Amino acid sequence: PASRPSPGCPALVGPPHTLRAHGMAAAATDGGGEGAPAGQKRSSVEQGHEEAPGKHRLSEGEAEMLKEHGRVQLTLGAGSRPRYVTVVRLPGGALSAFDSVCFHAGGPLGLGDIEEVGDERRHCVRCPWHDYFIDLETGKKWHRALVLEEGSGNLVPGGWKSSSNSMQRIHSVEETPGNSILVQLRLEGACES
């Protein structure tokens, strides 16, 4: 099993062969470009464009990757403590940005499938390692508990429930009228990721 990243310093962790199997190389902590899907270079504030203090404007290449593949991996922040962030385009066209590393066990959340979960059909990313569903609006974890079925005594899936607190950090992302995409880290408040 993977070790958990140290607080405030998410890193892609796990056996290198596991990360390569998911299309990712092992991450470096210097923001040097590793940890991106195979064949892609990670973006960073140093390589991209800082629009305003704390806001990163996607470069043409990043925007093209998002357009073609529905997601782009970014490295935001400088020095030895970068944040690895994934930006995805959801069904219907909205954008979402979230920490690429799963809060639970450091899995490659940025590679997870986007699925609709619960009665409200919430857009969630599904962690490829442990099938955790993370709400892309709130950062809450969604799950279905097993309940005892009356009469048969069998355990069956119950209704959908979410965690009471945000577990995964969700960041601000906006598309401007000129089709620029801006990402701003949201680091305030307590959060597992």
In this prediction the pTM is 0.69
Round to whole Å and give the CA distance between 127 and 141: 11
* Neighbouring residues of 27: CB distance < 8 A, sequence distance ≥ 6: 11, 12, 13, 34, 35, 84
- Would you state the pLDDT for residue 134? 94
| Gyration radius from the chain CA atoms | 17
Q: Is 102 exposed, middle or buried (0-12, 13-18, 19+ CB in 10 A)?
A: buried
The band of 14, judged by pLDDT with boundaries at 50, 70 and 90, is: very low
Query: For tokens 């119950």, what's the residue?
Result: 158
Report pLDDT digits (tens) over 134-143. 999 999 999 8
| Full 3-state SS string of the chain | CCCCCCCCCCCCCCCHHHHHHCCECCCCCCCCCCCCECCCCCEECCCCEEEECCEEECCHHHHHHHHHHCEEEEEECCCCCCEEEEEEECCCCCEEEEECECCCCCCEHHHCEEEEECCCCEEEEECCCCCCEEECCCCCEEEEEEEECCCCCCEEEEEEEECCCCCCCEEEEEECCCCCEEEECCCCCCCCC
More confident residue, 57 or 34: 57
- When comparing pLDDT for 153 and 31, which is higher? 153
What does the pLDDT look like over 68-115, one tens digit per residue? Answer: 999 999 998 877 788 899 999 999 899 999 999 998 988 899 999 999
Between 38-42, 111-115, 123-127, the lowest mean confidence (pLDDT) is in 38-42
- Whether the Cβ atoms of residue 186 and residue 171 lie closer than 8 Å to each other: yes
> How is residue 2 written in tokens?
């993977």
